[in-house]
Amino acid sequence: MEHTTMSDLPTPSAQRLHKPSWRDSRLLIGLLLVLASTAIGAYVVSRADDRMPMYAAKSGLVAGQPLTADDVVRVDVQLGESAGDYVSAGTDVPPDHFVLREVRAGELIPATAVGSRDEATAQPVALQVDATSASTLQVGSVVDVYVNRPLPSAKGSIGSTGFSGPVLTLAGVTVVAVPQDGGVMGGSGDTRALQIMVPKDKVKQVVGDVDLGAKITLVAVPGATTLNAS
């Protein structure tokens, strides 16, 4: 009878670990993922660096009003080659600059929308207007201005004998101030004081109507939205 000894038993061979090869698909996939993540991160950072500070209108701006730091808000945007078309927030708001055309709340301010006092085409004028017509208006409302001028007094009488009109004096102008009742501009009785932007070539006529005691009524333009709408 044969006896089996320890030396006769098969000896298991140790499995050696092999270094991963460049041909290992898992290694290649992992490397590609790392490279893709790095590229995406670099792209995002580079795009973020392209943002530039610009001024946007904090509330509606109307032609003729001075442009101040209180009227604007800084926003960082990507404009590329069109950056020069807007007012940069890299410096303070230039002094003695005026709004040349309307800019709605939240919009970037075009460089062509601001200029010097001489370039401004409108001026703010305070008026006592019909209280009923003013009750639904707010800052930024677009209105037509109708004027009822007093008729000349009859010979030998004192005061006006009535009013003529109404006459459309201004079309599509903007309301820039509507003080609360009892304020500095607050009206009384059947009138209320507010402020509108008047084209420079019409200011003399409007002031003349006010001095004559004309009745002034504002009518909201159908379909017009306020400049303060964002």
pLDDT of residue 109: 92
Rounded Cα distance between 107 and 114, Å, is: 14
Q: Which of 202, 49, 65 is nearest to 139 (CA)?
A: 65
Q: What is the pLDDT of residue 185?
A: 44
Domains, the chain, with CATH or none: 52-118 (3.90.1210), 122-220 (no CATH)
Identify the sign of the CA torsion 192, 61, 102, 229: negative
pLDDT for residue 22 is more than 60: no
Q: Residue 220: which of 147, 130, 134, 148 has the closest Cα? A: 134
Instruction: Kindly list the strands in the beta sheet with 167-177, ordered across the sheet, starting from the edge strand earlier in the chain.
Output: 122-130, 191-199, 167-177, 142-148, 215-220
Residue whose pair of structure tokens reads 């320890």 in the numeric block? 6
pLDDT of residue 154: 47
Model confidence pLDDT, tens digit, residues 99-144: 888 888 899 999 988 988 888 888 888 888 888 878 888 888 889 9
Q: What is the 3-state secondary structure (H, E, C) of the chain?
A: CCCCCHHHCCCCCCCCCCCCCCCCHHHHHHHHHHHHHHHHHHHHHHHHHCCEEEEEECCCECCCCECCHHHEEEEEECCHHHHHHECECCCCCCCCCEECCCECCCCECEHHHEECHHHCCEEEEEEEEEHHHHCCCCCCCEEEEEEECECCCCCCCCCCCCECCCEEEEEEEEEEECCCCCCCCCCCCCEEEEEEEEEHHHHHHHHHHHHHCCEEEEEECCCCCCCCCC
User: pLDDT digits over 164-207, tens only?
Assistant: 879 999 998 888 888 765 433 444 457 888 888 899 899 999 99
Confidence band, pLDDT 50/70/90 cuts, at residue 4:
low
* pTM of the entire predicted model: 0.59
Residue-averaged pLDDT of the chain = 78
